[in-house]
Amino acid sequence: AKRLAGKTILITGASSGIGKSTALEFARTQPDDLKLILTARRLETLQEVAKEISGVAKGVKVHVVKLDVSSVSEIGQFVSNLPEEFKQIDVLVNNAGLVKGVDKAPEIKQDDINVMFQTNVTGLIAMTQAILPIFLARPDGGRGDIINIGSIAGREPYQGGSIYCATKAAVRSFTDSLRKELIASRVRIIEIDPGQVETEFSVVRFGGDKEKAKKVYEGVEPLTGDDIAEVVVFAAARRENVVIADTLVFPNHQAAATVMHRKS
């Protein structure tokens, strides 16, 4: 599986969780010849991830960029500021995303609604729009991969998640339209929807309260970021004619967003 040799991979939200794991997994899979562009808001954390990668994969070139996907103007400058050798992006992993709180609709703060939509939806769309021209300039109507991280929450809305679930449903809808719109190209539009993964996701959801976050995973065995990273890299490493269009990944105890078996 050296299909990724020489590729340039761009990952949003690479400072933690699924995005960080995905960066490491790409590097492990193609340790001698790969370029990784890692982005997130926390630059120092990205630099630590880059260091970790250089420890496991000496031939991987890593470029880190502080990028807030909820800022359309930052995204606008991002592509033109890329060093020449990182400009020919082959794979975009739209992973950056977050949830804020578990409030029901009447109480959700406007700021939380905005940050979820601007990160998970308009950020993902703006990244896609920024990178697509690179893909579409290639032969046969264009080539390249867009891998969007959706969620079980986008397929099955739950109480206390109305806005987050709506953002992930929007990702799903946008992704499906895009696949249809680009049908005359060789661009692959891929969606991967995880169930429960233990990352910083719940810590962010509860505003930094680690105790509350820990309770979410009591009595269950969630997926790890590495589990999802393996699926992302698998999708990217298929033969160009193979599109892993849509994948739902659960841990063993989970069968729906709200159907979980907990050991007491």
Question: At closest approach, how far in Å is the CB of 202 from ligand 8X3?
Answer: 8
Angle in degrees, CA 36, 4, 62, rounded to 5: 15
Q: Which residues pair with 63 in a beta bridge?
A: 37
CB atoms within 10 A of CB 195: 22
Out of 53, 92, 163, 257, the residue judged to bind ligand 8X3 by CB under 6 A: 257
Distance of CA 224 to the CA centre of its chain: 14
Residue 66, CB-side half-sphere exposure with 13 Å CA sphere: 5
User: What part of residues 145-204 is at the interface with ligand 8X3 (CB under 6 A)?
Assistant: 151-153, 161, 164, 196
Cβ partners under 8 Å of residue 5, min gap 6: 30, 32, 33, 34
Examine residue 12 and tell whether it contacts ligand NDP (CB under 6 A): yes
| Closer Cβ to ligand NDP, 144 or 251, answer by number | 251
Question: At closest approach, how far in Å is the CB of 204 from ligand 8X3?
Answer: 11
Examine residue 176 and tell whether it contacts ligand NDP (CB under 6 A): no
Contacted by 70, from ligand 8X3, ligand NDP, none: CB < 5 to 8 Å by type: ligand NDP
Which residues are catalytically annotated?
A: 164, 168
**Cα distance from N-terminal residue to C-terminal residue, the chain:** 42
Residues near ligand NDP (CB under 6 A) are: 12-19, 40-42, 45, 67-70, 95-98, 119, 123, 149, 151, 194, 196-197, 199-201, 204, 225
